[in-house]
Amino acid sequence: MAKIKTKSNSVAFSVNRTVSSAGSQRSGDLNSEIQKKAYELFERRGYTSGNDLADWFEAERIILSSMRKR
């Protein structure tokens, strides 16, 4: 479960992915990257709450898109 911390609380996200045991480390790294990017988006909006899911999905889109370009 990934968490995004805000000034007043933390919001938890459950990301369901089926991965092999060999891929579990990569999945953890991927979730960590998405979490960091989502927090960056949250920071850019001035820590305004209410867009946590949108931030998460946008971060996921950005990270996955950058992975495809590699």
Domain positions in the chain: 2-69
Residues in the chain, total: 70
Give the pLDDT score at 28: 87
pLDDT at 13 over 60: no
Strand partners, 34: none
Residue that has been written with the tokens 């209410």 in this structure: 50
Distances (CA, A) of 56 to 21, 32, 42: 25, 11, 9
Q: Report pTM.
A: 0.63
Which of 24, 23, 32 lies closest to 13, judged by CA? 32
Maximum CA extent, the chain: 38
